[in-house]
Amino acid sequence: MTTSRQLLGHVSSRVRQERENRGWTQQKLADRAKVSRRMLAGIEAEASNVSLATLDRIANAMNLTFADLVREPETTPAAGPIVLWQGEHRNSQALLLQSAPATRTVEMWHWTLAPQERYVASPDRKGTREMLYVISGALTIEFERRHQRVPARESVVFASDRKFNYVNLENVVTRFVKNTIE
């Protein structure tokens, strides 16, 4: 399994390599991805803790899938999981399990959230949906005007092109699988 530090190193060189292959300056990629040049320079220097949403914008700007950007070059789509988010508690993390082409892409994730942990998500691209299955515990999904509790052994599908949060309001670790479909 890839660690967060290894991932940052890999993503740093991958972003720089893809940018240079296109003959782009940092400013050109930053403008296309709608991030600051300073943020991009920090990512390329392995000095910036980058959000998943920012990585997704950078991938899109270079016409790559998120999985293409974060996956190590020698791995294949069937390779092992990649840790892409680590919460404050060691029991909170997001693992990218698989990715497959769709209209744009499909990603399969395994998430764990420790008790009282919250993940604040950025909206995905227009038309993107998430399909979740809770393995254990219960997951609360907060939307702007409502929230939905999904207990173990139940699933939900929702449009993820709006603001939402994953929250574990339980006293046990929550584990769930999510598919992101574009």
| Whether residue 97 is found in the same domain as residue 59 | no
Q: Is 41 exposed, middle or buried (0-12, 13-18, 19+ CB in 10 A)?
A: middle
Q: Which residue has the higher pLDDT, 149 or 125?
A: 149
For residue 170, what pLDDT is reported? 96
- pLDDT reading at 37 higher than 70: yes
Percentage of the residues of the chain whose pLDDT score is greater than 90: 48
Average the pLDDT over 6-12 and give the result: 79
Domain encompassing residue 17: 4-70
| Whether residue 169 is found in the same domain as residue 132 | yes
In a domain, 134, yes or no: yes
Q: What pLDDT band is residue 162 in, cutting at 50, 70 and 90?
A: very high
pTM, to two decimals: 0.59
| Whether residue 153 is found in the same domain as residue 88 | yes
Helix axes 26-33, 52-61, angle to 10 degrees: 110
- The mean predicted confidence, pLDDT, of the chain is 86
For residue 140, what pLDDT is reported? 98
For residue 92, what pLDDT is reported? 92
| Domains held by the chain: number | 2
Q: Lowest-pLDDT range, 80-94, 97-111, 134-148?
A: 97-111
Q: What pLDDT band is residue 31 in, cutting at 50, 70 and 90?
A: very high
| Whether residue 177 is found in the same domain as residue 141 | yes
In a domain, 113, yes or no: yes
| Whether residue 140 is found in the same domain as residue 58 | no
- pLDDT reading at 181 higher than 80: yes
| Whether residue 102 is found in the same domain as residue 170 | yes
| Whether residue 92 is found in the same domain as residue 172 | yes
In a domain, 60, yes or no: yes
| Whether residue 60 is found in the same domain as residue 88 | no
| Whether residue 16 is found in the same domain as residue 57 | yes
In a domain, 121, yes or no: yes
Instruction: Read off the CATH number of the domain in which 112 is found.
Output: 2.60.120.10
In a domain, 75, yes or no: no
Average the pLDDT over 104-128 and give the result: 91
In a domain, 140, yes or no: yes
| Whether residue 87 is found in the same domain as residue 66 | no
| Whether residue 64 is found in the same domain as residue 139 | no
- pLDDT reading at 76 higher than 50: no
